[in-house]
Structure formats: structure tokens, C-alpha cells
Amino acid sequence: MKISGTFSVLCAVVLLFVGCTGNSDRPELGLVTGVVTVGGEPVESLLVTFVPDEGRPSSGVTDALGQYELEYIGASMGAKLGHHQVRITTLDIGEPNRPTRELVPSKFNVQTELTAEVEADDNRFDFAL
């Protein structure tokens, strides 16, 4: 009986610690959605990444309609508030040892010219490439 009582107290302490500190290091986030088109057509399986000046990036993948929604980490949706460089690349979901053809010009990914300013509310950023 003493073991189960000690175990219960230990579990309560761990849950309290995790509950109190679990989101303390997470910055304020703004929800980010949008649509990506290439040549006027929506493109599926593009990786959209918002890279803040400091901190963790957020990313999302376009669906068949070119729509994306950014995820910060785990179930936390959105991106850190402030200025971001935006990189859009073709998601490599092909076969191993078979390179994926990049559909997006380098000026939108490796040498990106895209930027965005994420605010506290809902943010919509459409990119016509």
C-alpha cells in the first residue's frame, strides 16, 4: 500500500510540473493559413516554412487545393509573432534514392525573397509563384 501511495504522489508532482511548465517557453503565436499557387494553379505537397528572425520555425504542407496551415510544435498551431523569411519547397515524398524535382524556383526557397509579418490574430498569406 505504501508503494501505491508514493507512486500517486510522484505522479501528481510530475503532472503538476509538466502542466505548469509545459508551455512556459512557447512564444505568443499567430495562426497562419494561406494558399500557394505556381503558374496560377494550386500545388499539392509543397512545404511552407516560416523562419523567424530568432527562434523555432513553423511549417505546413499544401493540400490538393494549395492550402496550408502552419504548425509551431506538436499540437500548437501558428507561427511566432514578428518578421519571418518564408521558404517554399517541394516536399520530398518520393521513393528513396530518387530525387524529387523541385517545382519552386530558388528565389522562393533556398535564396528566398519572400517575407511575412505574423500578428497576434489570424493571418492569411497567399503566395502566387
The residues spanned by each domain of the chain are 29-128
Please state, as a whole number, how many other Cβ atoms lie within 10 Å of the Cβ of residue 38. 18
pLDDT, average across residues 1-29: 50
Pairwise CA distance, residues 35 & 37, whole Å: 7
Confidence of residue 99 (pLDDT cuts 50, 70, 90): low
Q: Which CATH class is domain 29-128?
A: mainly beta
For residues 104 and 57, the answer to whether their CB atoms sit within 8 Å is no
- Tell me the pLDDT tens digit for each residue of 45-81: 999 999 999 999 999 999 999 999 999 998 899 999 9
Mean pLDDT, the chain, as a whole number?
82
Q: Smallest Cα–Cα separation from 45: which of 59, 61, 33?
A: 61
Instruction: Say whether 100 sits in a helix, a strand or coil.
Output: coil
